Structure 1
């Protein structure tokens, strides 16, 4: 198994709902008001709007130009949102994502304010579902499915399967050899320089220079505090090997050993696992194979009977539960 980036978030649906919710009513209102103004102007000039052969009076040419401009903008807006909906639908359907990312509230707003875009999105989504899924998505699904499969196998009394870890030498058997995203959580010490400004000139110039210097010092202090605070660092892809007693991570060419017996807490979410230790910085392993790591870690650390009750395995046990 190999690492595949986490599925993208669905913020574009929120943006689309907000954008169409604002733009569509404005264009509709502007077009209707300009049409009414044009019709009123023609009526005053004694021209009927249904008379195709009548020339537009000069007094109404300005109003007519505004109406035509808004019509062209509206047509362009409808065409652009329709094409965008079609393209996004094809991409999301091919990647087997939920319809509208299952953001039903935002999808409803888009359907009300730009129904043509939702229709083309649905058409594109159907086309995308007929296309083969990308290899990266298949790898993601395979990696995520490995955890529940291993858990079910071990729960039935099966034994974990060893794997061949090419180039990795250990006296212990290896049960997992995957690529995951590696990160550590810690703070650092940061030094920064405060500057002092000396200005000569008018009172306004001196005050401006002092203010600019204060703003610069404040910005440098904030930047240093932001860099120094505890956060996830050292983000990189790392080869991760699991044995019965330890998890090994190859970071920048060096093998780091994390003893399972030293793990104080283990947290699991949709995208990764977090291991907290008593004497070193927390470790995060991000990617689909993290679920397999969680199951094997629980098995070797606590034994097969504990797999049914370990709290951090609850997302995997939920994935095993039949959908009602």
Structure 2
């Protein structure tokens, strides 16, 4: 419709200008009307053509999508969503298996020396960060100003403002905050969380944790310790780590009652464990 309307608008404006020209109406308000018609004659079709191009491009994209043909950006977004949905399903499956007292699937991690009786349940990428403050040094500048009082006062004011800005920036950088943010390798076992950061393995034992904040709805897990800085894990696989960590630190009842795991629970609640209890020594 916009493509058809563009020449129609131009033709209508031409006819209006022709009628005004025959009657020689170029004075007062008629002059303003002439200018308005000229503007519409040029800008109207351009705007309609732009709308037609935008609608045509959207229709073409929808046609391609209906045939399963996507752009590189769309394919990447679809892949990202599928990966997140798959990781979420794995976290829900782990939650369900632990409540049913079933042993989750295990895997081998050859580049990690395991504890006695340790089993590994996932080896995935995850966002990593630590929470702490630090000491930041900064330089205070000074200057010698000679001349008119206005020049001296201006120089002193600029120096004071620059020093205050440097001090504020250093204080902001030194305060406690999440640091060392990077994408790491996460391994979840029945004894600990292992994170490989810049080629170095860091071990976070469940027994050393003093607080756990599972946030699967926000794709995050925060763990606190008595002897080291808090740990933040984020990304698609954080819910899986949150379920295992909460289970190993708080027990089975936490899987049922902890409000942080509410997004992972089925609508009608998890199935009750059967009368026959499977051996879960590898989890414990």
| Alpha-carbon distance in structure 1 between the residues aligned to 2:231 and 2:150 | 53
Which residue does 1:243 correspond to in 2?
189
- Tell whether 2:202 aligns with 1:256: yes
| Alpha-carbon distance in structure 2 between the residues aligned to 1:244 and 1:285 | 17
State whether residues 144 and 291 of structure 1, in contact with CA within 8 Å, keep that contact through their aligned partners in structure 2: yes
Higher normalized helix content (fraction of residues): 1
Per the TM alignment, residue 83 of structure 1 is displaced from its structure 2 partner at its CA by 6.7
Per the TM alignment, residue 76 of structure 1 is displaced from its structure 2 partner at its CA by 6.2
Which residue does 2:18 correspond to in 1?
52
Number of matched pairs: 240
Per the TM alignment, residue 137 of structure 1 is displaced from its structure 2 partner at its CA by 2.0
| Alpha-carbon distance in structure 2 between the residues aligned to 1:248 and 1:124 | 44
State whether residues 266 and 276 of structure 1, in contact with CA within 8 Å, keep that contact through their aligned partners in structure 2: yes
Per the TM alignment, residue 197 of structure 1 is displaced from its structure 2 partner at its CA by 1.8
State whether residues 26 and 34 of structure 2, in contact with CA within 8 Å, keep that contact through their aligned partners in structure 1: no
The alignment yields a C-alpha RMSD, in angstroms, of: 3.4
| Alpha-carbon distance in structure 1 between the residues aligned to 2:240 and 2:259 | 15
Which residue does 1:161 correspond to in 2?
105
Which residue does 1:19 correspond to in 2?
none
1:188-245 deviations in whole A, cap 9, x for unaligned?
A: 1111111112112222222221121111111101111111111111011111112212
- Tell whether 2:139 aligns with 1:170: no
- SS state at 1:190 partner: coil
| Alpha-carbon distance in structure 1 between the residues aligned to 2:88 and 2:193 | 19
State the TM-score, normalizing by the size of structure 2. Answer: 0.71
State the TM-score, normalizing by the size of structure 1. Answer: 0.63
Which residue does 1:151 correspond to in 2?
95
Which residue does 1:314 correspond to in 2?
262
More divergent stretch after superposition (284-293 vs 255-264): 255-264
- SS state at 1:237 partner: strand
1:270-299 deviations in whole A, cap 9, x for unaligned?
A: 221111222221111011111111111222
Per the TM alignment, residue 140 of structure 1 is displaced from its structure 2 partner at its CA by 1.5
| Alpha-carbon distance in structure 2 between the residues aligned to 1:267 and 1:126 | 45
| Alpha-carbon distance in structure 2 between the residues aligned to 1:255 and 1:233 | 17
- SS state at 2:227 partner: coil
| Alpha-carbon distance in structure 2 between the residues aligned to 1:75 and 1:249 | 60
Q: 1:316/1:233 Cα in 2 relative to 1: closer, same or farther (>3 Å)? A: same
| Alpha-carbon distance in structure 1 between the residues aligned to 2:204 and 2:89 | 25
State whether residues 196 and 202 of structure 2, in contact with CA within 8 Å, keep that contact through their aligned partners in structure 1: yes
Structure 1 segment 218-237 matched on structure 2, within 5 A: 218-237=164-183
State whether residues 86 and 125 of structure 1, in contact with CA within 8 Å, keep that contact through their aligned partners in structure 2: no
Q: Which of 145, 150, 158 is the aligned partner of 1:199?
A: 145
- SS state at 1:209 partner: helix
In structure 2, runs of 5+ residues without a counterpart are 1-14, 270-284
- SS state at 2:20 partner: coil
